[in-house]
A = this chain, B = another copy of it.
Amino acid sequence: MSKRIITVSRQFGSGGRTIAKAVAERLGIAYYDKELIKKVAEKTGFSSEYIEENGEYAPGRSIFSLASSYIGAPRVMGGMSAYDYLWVVQRNAILEIVEKEPCVIVGRCADYILKDRNDVLNVYIHAPMEARAERIVRLYGESEKKPEDRLKEKDSKRAINYKHFTGETWGDARNYDLCLNSEKIGIEKCVEMIIELAKQ
């Protein structure tokens, strides 16, 4: 396989995780999503919940302060904020993983962190708002907030996080090798196309 590392960035509700997982399973390679969070949790002492919440989302100031006081994490590590410290540890974890084994990595700016490697295929999965709203209600159920508002909030946080650490625009096609509209193309076809390119 010429592309032994596949990164999958995805809009919330686009089916990107489902696609990433299926690609890893069919290629018989490792899959890092929650697994990456666990790895970072072990190194930092942050709780998995905290990393899941803050590892991809630029937190509002109040949420951030609240979270760091709750878990008792020091606010500054060697001059860094807890948020920036989390980035450094996540980045190192990703660089370590890709040396170890072929894998699929979901989110966490892995596309940017690995952009100079020749053995990486960077994929972005998106879908129209209506399709994503329908999907998150089906998978995660209703909540107090309208699904469209939940999506907009997640999109906005991921975009801010990506900009903060990479200086790039989240969702800009030029940052990826392959971008797919999962609603138009279909989940199964997306999986097949990624596998085909990885094997090329």
Binding site for B on A (CB under 8 A): 11, 121, 124, 126, 169, 171-174, 176-181, 184-186, 189, 193, 197, 200
Decide if B177 touches A178 in the complex (CB within 8 Å). no
Residue numbers in B under 8 Å from A174 (CB-CB): 11, 126, 171, 181
Decide if A126 touches B185 in the complex (CB within 8 Å). no
Residue numbers in B under 8 Å from A124 (CB-CB): 173, 179
12 contacts between A and B (CB under 8 A): A11-B174, A124-B179, A171-B174, A173-B173, A173-B179, A176-B181, A177-B180, A177-B185, A178-B179, A185-B197, A189-B197, A189-B200
Decide if A184 touches B180 in the complex (CB within 8 Å). no
State how many copies of this chain the complex holds.
2
In this complex, what residue of B is CB-closest to A175?
A: B173
Q: How far is the CA of A180 from the CA of B178 in the complex (A)?
A: 5
Residue numbers in B under 8 Å from A186 (CB-CB): 200
Decide if A181 touches B178 in the complex (CB within 8 Å). yes
Decide: A185 near B181, CB < 8 A? Known: A173-B172, A193-B193: no
